[in-house]
Amino acid sequence: MPYITTADGTEIFYKDWGTGQPIIFSHGWPLSGDAWDVEMKLAADNGFRAIAHDRRGHGRSTPTWHGNDMDTYAADLDELVRALDLEDIILVGHSTGGGEVVRFAARHGVGRVVKVATVGAVPPVMVKSDSNPDGTPIEVFDGIRAGVLADRSQFFQDLSAPFFGTNRPGSTISQGQRDQFWRLGMQAGFTSVYDCVKAFSETDFTEDLKALDVPIFIAQGDDDQIVPIADAALKSIDLVKNGTLKVYPGAPHGIAGPYQQELDLDLLEFWKS
């Protein structure tokens, strides 16, 4: 299986499908690159080279004790890009992965990245503070950490409901989708899962968003129960220079069902534009 080894000895697994202009897909917490399989096939079928990595501590990558922070995630992605000698890159990131690609693009991707798409992404910053008074209280993230520590398996099973919106009337998301969320989450390293909560909730991406000068497509469902849209996409669009916002009425955080079908058409149009 394809891996690169980073400067600190971490093995990063990646999938590489198709040929053409590269699109790098970055997954959300606590998943892996497999969460993007449908979109990777869509990209490869339409003449792009689709690449998805497992973030350190997730999926098939090394379950690291150190480096479970956004700066290191972006640096790992930079090492992957350099190892594969990629240019003219399109980035796509969901949730935590949206933060990763924004930080990578701002700090490592100048001259290499030509477009960015984020979906239900964590920027600008999730946690409530004096400078972000309408953010999510730290107690919510403490609760996530407590759930991981107490019974990670059951916590992930329970979390899959608000993640995909199956707790809403009329949801058509299958139990299989929820089971896949649980399965991918249980593949991740325990410490990495725990530490990544701080990374996705407390990292401030404001300056990264301001620094981007390439086109960015910002997508989010307005019934996202995991990353509240009012403190995410609706703020991010005001910070970027060349952004397009698409809000999907009634759509959840997880990419599945009718939301996925509509989103994928929009992503394909953005990639080809």
Tokens 């990544």 found at: 196
Give the pLDDT of residue 160: 98
Domain that holds residue 199: 3-272
Rounded to whole angstroms, the Cα distance separating 205 from 104 reads: 11
What count of Cα atoms within 13 Å lies in the side-chain half-sphere of residue 168? 16
* CATH number of the domain bearing residue 241: 3.40.50.1820
Phi/psi at 128 (5° precision): -70, 140
Give the pLDDT of residue 1: 62
Rounded to whole angstroms, the Cα distance separating 179 from 74 reads: 29
Q: Are 74 and 81 in contact (CB under 8 A)?
A: no
The per-residue pLDDT string of the chain (273 residues; one tens digit each, 9 = 90 and over) reads 699 999 999 999 999 999 999 999 999 999 999 999 999 999 999 999 999 999 999 999 999 999 999 999 999 999 999 999 999 999 999 999 999 999 999 999 999 999 999 999 999 999 999 999 999 999 999 999 999 999 999 999 999 999 999 999 999 999 999 999 999 999 999 999 999 999 999 999 999 999 999 999 999 999 999 999 999 999 999 999 999 999 999 999 999 999 999 999 999 999 999
User: Per-residue DSSP letters for 102-127?
Assistant: HHHHHHT-TTTEEEEEEES---S--B
- Radius of gyration (C-alpha) of the chain in whole angstroms: 17
Ranges of beta strands (E only) in the chain are 3-5, 11-17, 21-26, 48-53, 89-94, 113-119, 216-221, 243-248
Q: Are 256 and 100 in contact (CB under 8 A)?
A: no
Give the pLDDT of residue 163: 98
Retrieve residue 241's tokens.
């220079």
Q: What is the DSSP letter of 23?
A: E
Domain count, the chain: 1
Q: Please state whether beta strands 48-53 and 113-119 pair in parallel, antiparallel, or not at all (unpaired).
A: unpaired
Give the pLDDT of residue 147: 98
Strands laid side by side in the 216-221 sheet: 3-5, 11-17, 48-53, 21-26, 89-94, 113-119, 216-221, 243-248
Phi/psi at 92 (5° precision): -135, 125
Q: Which residues are catalytic?
A: 95, 224, 253
* 252: preceding bond cis by omega (within 30 degrees): no
